[in-house]
Amino acid sequence: MNIFFPQNIFSKLIAENLPAQMKKDVVFLPSSLLTSELKKHDDAVGLIPTTDIIKHDKLFVSKSFGISFESSLCNSYIYYSSSESNVKEVTLAGDVSSIEVILCKILFQEMYGIDVETKISTDETKIKNQNLVMAGDKNFTLEKYSSGISFAEEIEDTFSIPFVNYIFAAQDKKFISVLNEHLQGISSSIYDRAEEMNFGTELSDKTKNYIKENISSLIMDLSEQDLDGINQIIRLPYYYGVINDIVEINYV
């Protein structure tokens, strides 16, 4: 069974705590490629951006495990270069996926009543002095997080829902059932690993300590509240006229 994971600190924590026979099957990919790769394999599971399910609603989704964030620790941060209420353009950078692309415009429209223009940048030299949403490990390797605002906090404060960033999905539901079985109890193992500051990525001591101190913001065991968060996240584009139909999720 292939297991496709995004290339970030949080998914690496999960991967390192999988059983040995599963760990060897893990493949790390940019978040934007996860679902397209998953669709090529009938015998695979992918930890995909939540909003990818909007265009791929035939996939089966785990109702037990994923990656949800609450409070300051998150995979994406917002950085303002000007007054928050005067934002007209936002640059998306880093490991950008559909969730940043879709929710960024909706979030700014709800917070400030502004229809912001968004663009994706792959050139780090051109993102200085811009309003920015940075996704992925560069928030931590570049130590930018300390000057940013957690995307999860803004989603929670604005819509009163958990920010479920990634969900486990598969074309065949039996592979979700297998995954659910093997991930039982994984949270405590990951929190222990965080306590040892073993994140599988080169980070400064300051950043390691920050992640360690805020690791409780990382939620992998999904609750009913998180499932409601998933449902609301994929409905937001409908409520804001981005998509025409409400998607129903095939939970396992």
Q: What is the distance between the alpha carbons of residues 186 and 18, in angstroms, rounded to a whole number?
A: 8
121 and 155, same domain (yes or no): yes
Q: What is the distance between the alpha carbons of residues 138 and 143, in angstroms, rounded to a whole number?
A: 8
187 and 146, same domain (yes or no): no
Token pair of 5, please? 């994971």
- Give the range among 13-17, 69-73, 82-86, 185-189 with minimum mean pLDDT: 82-86
User: In whole numbers, what is the pLDDT of the chain averaged over residues?
Assistant: 91
Q: What is the distance between the alpha carbons of residues 188 and 218, in angstroms, rounded to a whole number?
A: 12
Residue 124: give its domain's CATH number: 3.40.190
131-179 pLDDT, tens per residue? 899 999 999 999 999 999 999 999 999 999 999 999 999 999 999 999 9
Q: What is the distance between the alpha carbons of residues 135 and 92, in angstroms, rounded to a whole number?
A: 8
64 and 112, same domain (yes or no): no
- Predicted model pTM: 0.93
Domain end call among 143, 159, 175 = 159
Residue 167: give its domain's CATH number: 3.40.190.10
189 and 228, same domain (yes or no): yes
136 and 101, same domain (yes or no): yes
211, part of any domain: no
Q: What is the full DSSP assignment across 30-99?
A: -GGGHHHHHTT-TTEEEEEEGGGGGT-TTSEEEEEEEEEE-SS--SEEEE-SS-GGG--EEEEEES--HH
60 or 188, greater pLDDT: 60
17-54 pLDDT, tens per residue? 888 888 999 999 999 999 999 999 999 999 999 999 99
Q: What is the distance between the alpha carbons of residues 165 and 230, in angstroms, rounded to a whole number?
A: 9
206, part of any domain: no
Q: What is the distance between the alpha carbons of residues 91 and 104, in angstroms, rounded to a whole number?
A: 10
Number of domains in the chain: 2
95-136 pLDDT, tens per residue? 999 999 999 999 999 988 888 899 998 777 777 778 899 999
Name the residue with tokens 């499932």.
227
131 is in which domain, residue-wise?
A: 76-159
133 and 82, same domain (yes or no): yes
Say what the pLDDT of residue 83 is. Answer: 62
